[in-house]
A = this chain, B = another copy of it.
Amino acid sequence: MFKRKFFLPLLGILFMIPAIVKASGDAAGADAAHGTSHAVIVLAFVALIVVLAKIAGSVAEKFNQVSVLGELMLGVLLGIPVLFGIHFFDAFKTDEFVLLFSEFAVILLLFQTGLESDLHKMSRVGVPAFLVAIIGVVAPFVIGMYLVGPWLLPGLSSNAYLFLGATLTATSVGITARVFKDLKMLQSRTSQIVLGAAVIDDVLGLLILAVVAAMVTAGHVSTGEVVVIATKALVFLAASIAIGRLIAPRLGKYLSKVHAGIGMKMAMALLFCLGYAYLSTLVGLAPIVGAFAAGLLLDPVHFKRFRSPRLVRDIEDAMGECTQDDVKACVHQAVEEHRHRHVEDLIEGVAQWVVPVFFVITGLQVNLAVLADINVLLVALGLTIAAIFGKVISGVAAGKGADWKVVGVGMVPRGEVGLIFANVGKALGVVGDEAFAAIVIMIIITTIFTPVVLPMIAKMNKKKEEAQPAQA
């Protein structure tokens, strides 16, 4: 039953891939008026990836896993042919158009996460989030620099251990945000703490990278510089949220007067999302931090003057034919609720299609060949244990009202942030090939760890909760 359902379309689509890749090669030599532009090939590829990702996500769900795990694994699986010398996806893996989609996808995801988070709720978890972030940075750093580094990779310079420790401090919140979303836990105190801690972590990561890079290149750190970087980032976050909350209602009012359609509504929402993503990069923060801040500061009320799409009018029209009073009331309520939810629904319409691209591409970045070296594997194993342990214990700072295990596991993924650290270290010559390969494996495992483990803990907690009232 299961097999027939999934196997046929999956197989059919997979068989299309070589044909498409082959054809795209032929096309380059075709004597055609329009030619086959690179853009069109990539667009078709992305469309195919999205359908495959949707299938993979659903397969994961059938096995009681979160769909993001299916998307990640799909990316990893698509990398297998490379081991046999078949380079189908290699061109797309590093294609800048594909990476543009991937970047857009993760920005959109964090914007969505921000939209579904509540600024007041977030500020109430400020203290535990800060503590979680601090412990989650200090613990893996100390373990990496003084324990795992000298023990597993003896004889390296202290700068190398410094970088190894620094790489372990990064947090990549994309995966966790998506897992919380898949588990419908975004509203919980626990997930607010993780999201808050991840934002603080990005500021701390910025400082750590500046410090260790200065230590390696100049041999010392100027306190003034560190203060300037930290101040810039913190002032940006505070000011951008404050200014945004001033501008958003006014801009919403003006733009809805110019045109109250959903096109303008969406345009305004995405201007905030992408504008903030861009602005945050100007102070050295990740674009996803800006996008999250934009989502956080925007409120349904800023969009209340815009129309909702045709359906609402259809139903209002249909209701015009009804005469009973309570009917109007209940339909009106549904419409009103929709009007409030609607920015999120509009973004969801785009995000549902775009976001999986990020996770498939993340999975595709995994170079399976690094798994071949047993020495590297051992170092990677040690690094991974340090990485997971260092972050999981940060959960204890979450305090009451939140599950420390969920918080800790939520902080584990290193993702692209860890890779940035490793790349800077490699460029500075302090991270060697062996260490780099081990870091990559550590990032892969921590990235897949959370989508596997977090749902398990959530399920256990749910069972406990269901059992408790019966006892009480």
Contact = CB atoms under 8 A, between A and B. Distances in A.
A300 interface: no
A395 to B, nearest CB: 25
A5 interface: yes
Interface in A237-294: 251, 254-255, 257-259, 261-264, 266-268, 270-271, 273-275, 277-279, 281-287
A89 interface: no
Contacts of A275: 44, 47-48
Interface string A340-369: 010001101110110010000000000000
A39 B277 CA distance: 11
Interface in A40-79: 40-44, 46-48, 50-51, 53-55, 57-59, 61
A270 B47 contact: yes
A314 interface: yes
Contacts of A27: 281-282
Contacts of A281: 27, 32, 34-37, 40
B310 A345 contact: yes
A158 interface: no
Contacts of A100: 39, 42-43, 97, 100
B9 A254 contact: yes
A472 interface: no
A357 B99 CA distance: 20
Given A5-B258, A310-B341, A30 B282 contact: yes
A327 B261 CA distance: 28
Contacts of A26: 282
Contacts of A254: 5, 8-9
Given A324-B327, A334-B318, A266 B352 contact: yes
A285 B99 contact: no
Nearest to A247: B12
Contact of A331 (B6, B257, B266, B318): B318
Interface string A299-338: 0000000000111101101110110101100110110011
B103 A262 contact: no
A427 interface: no
A466 interface: no
B286 A34 contact: yes
Interface stretch (A173-181, A203-211, A376-384, A402-410): A203-211
B266 A34 contact: no
A453 interface: no
29 contacts: A20-B278, A24-B278, A31-B284, A32-B281, A33-B209, A33-B284, A33-B286, A34-B286, A36-B278, A39-B99, A39-B103, A40-B103, A40-B278, A41-B278, A43-B107, A44-B274, A51-B255, A51-B267, A53-B267, A55-B255, A55-B259, A266-B353, A309-B345, A309-B349, A318-B331, A318-B334, A319-B331, A321-B330, A324-B324
